[in-house]
Structure 1
Amino acid sequence: MSCIVKRSSDMLIIRLFVIFLLSSCSYSQFNINEFYYLKANKLQEMKSPNDIIFPIQRGNYDIPIINNKTNNIVKEKLNLYPPIQPLYITDDININYLENKGLLFVNQNNIDTLWSQIVNITKFYKLPILSNNEILHQLTTDWIKLNRFYDNKIYTGRYHLSLQKHQSKLLFTIYLIDLKQGEKNIKSPFHIRHYTITMLNNIILGLSKIQNDKKVYPITSDSKINVKSIIDKENNLPMLKLYTSFDTAWERLKFAMKLIGMRINYSDKTKGTFNVTYKKTGNLFWKSININNPNLPEGDYTVQLGNLNKYVSLRFISAKGNILDKKTNDTLMKVLQNILNR
């Protein structure tokens, strides 16, 4: 009898353990109609210890002013989207921003050259220019149709761009003059910040591309990229390491992938990803560069780059989500070592 009771209690424990595992593995999508967050604690004034100033990295504060009548109440239409961040992808630029102003401190002396580059960037993005003062280095845009926001509404905005000398650097300022949704003026700090930094990022990407075009496109730089095939100790997954800067790796990979038969369908430098389609190249090509055919399966791949300061990580991921194994990476290492340094 005691044996039966013990066995039934053991079975009960096992069942409870299985139920616990299944419940912990389950996934339920966040329901925007849930209002449990309305019970959250109200905002409180942030107090820093003596002799410590927040924030340490920047001189501007993003901490909202506490006001019991306005912003200290948790509302039902709470904005749950993360704020946009400026792109820190170049070493020669320091970035700052405050509300509807974005600032770039550029390590460059020739103000006319930099202004010409900025004007060319605005032309590249086909921004309507209302006025451009080449002497004062100031530019004002007409109304620009902006990319859709998280709420999927269409916004328009006007910007003022200026460039001036600041100590040993050049200070570029972008100022969001007006922001509208239809005929309605938008005063939301979240929207203003979003579209200020969005335009700031466009300028940063343009300056980064100009900088890289001088260095690596077309590929004439004497700097050699060393490529290694390793197993990442953190996650035990194979990857390639490129000992160079992220910008250099990005530009040279675009050229290299096209050369070996990879068609680039989509790229996003901010995320470090390429979406490519690979079609096998004939053996004559591989013989011409003295490399064995890697026998990479044809199909769609995601090429993922990671900026790890001292090197750039590189992984090829198949359409099924499988990362290329170490053996294939070893062959690709030889291919990229050859082509990236041609």
Structure 2
Amino acid sequence: MDLMEIDDDMYIDRHLSMEGLIPKVDFQRRKQPSRCVSVCLGLLCAVLLAGNIGQLINYEIFSHPASGDPMQSGYVQDRPQSSDNNSAAERKQLETRLTNLTTEKDQLHQSYDSVTAERDELKVSFNKVGNERDMLRASKEQRQSNYSDLQREKEELQTEFSALRANRDQLQSTYTSLKTNHDQMQLSYSSVTAERDEFKASFNNLQTEKDQLQREHSQLETNHSVLRREKGELQKKIDKIRARPCQTGWSKFDISCYFVSSVSKNWTSSRQECIEEGADLVVIDSLEEQEFLNMLMPKSQNAWIGLTDSLQEGTWMWVDGSNVTTQFWQPGQPNSYNGNQDCGENVQKTPGVGQWNDDGCFAVQNWICEK
């Protein structure tokens, strides 16, 4: 912050004047340098004004005692002696007051001189402070110039630092990229080396497997010859079986004979009847067989077949232990109604291939045997 400038007119713009003896005080202040000085000067003017009034009163009383209005002179001469004594006492009091006022006037003169001396000292101090302010301003300007130079140098250093940091970041990025490439190449080399070893081991294994396969091929050739011979023998047996007629009451299809009962029993009893005949409940594994059985069955009758999920709910199997591969279930079947339908039946309601349904094994109906 700059120092406050103070003008000489801030102290007194006009000289004090009063009756030609004391200057009359009139303050015109732009900026007040000292509140104490202003208060002192005001008090000084008030006291001097009171002293001047007292002098005027004293002058009127004691300077014209015998002159003036004749009426007043006659009044003085005609006053009684007691009045003269009172006047003498009053005159003495006035003389005392005059002395006191004179003393106060001298004191005020001394106070005025003291205040004037303080004002001069303040002017000297003001000039000193002004010089110091000018020196501080010059120092401030020099420091401002130095600050500007330092700021410029700082900006140049900042620019250079930013360039160096960008260069460092670029070098760091390049180094990171090179290191990444190096690591990738090292990894690739390790991977290629491992693959080479794996390929070498695989080649050795393949060579071993090739030798093994060659040996197995020779063995398979031998087995193939044996199987072809066995196949011929089995074909002869099949042809002989196909040519053999089924017993009375049984119907022939392919190499099997089928029997449809005319009485009704539950699923377990029906299977037992088939076993006693050297057969079992029918196992259906083709569409042609299903169509053939559908023709054997009486119209609008159901018949037990060798299908059950009694061992595991939902897993249907044939009585010979084979899985169900070809299926002819009615829509929505099997549904295990009431949770106790574990045996399969063939349903013939309309001409065609017929359909299957799950039913309770305790139900009684016809059955179909196969041998």
Higher-strand-fraction structure: 1
Where on the TM-score scale, by shorter chain, does this alignment land: which range?
under 0.3
More helix per residue: 1 or 2?
Answer: 2
Rg larger in 1 or in 2?
2
Task: Output the TM-score relative to the length of structure 2.
Answer: 0.21
